[in-house]
Amino acid sequence: MGLGWLTICNSGRKPSFYIHSDRLKLLISNHRLEMARDPLDLRFYVESEDEESLKFALVEEIVKECLGFDGVRLRREISMSNWDVEFLNDDQVLQARLNGHCTFEIGKNIGA
pLDDT digits (tens, 9 = 90+) for 35-63: 777 777 888 888 888 888 888 888 899 99
The predicted model scores a pTM of: 0.70
- Chain centroid, CA 55 distance in Å: 14
Q: How far apart are CA 54 and CA 39, in angstroms?
A: 18
Q: How far apart are CA 95 and CA 78, in angstroms?
A: 8
Helices assigned H by DSSP within the chain: 22-28, 59-67, 76-79, 90-110
- Phi then psi for 41, rounded to 5 degrees? -85, 105
For the chain, percent of residues with pLDDT exceeding 90: 24
What mean pLDDT do residues 26-37 have?
79
- Residue ranges of domains in the chain: 15-110
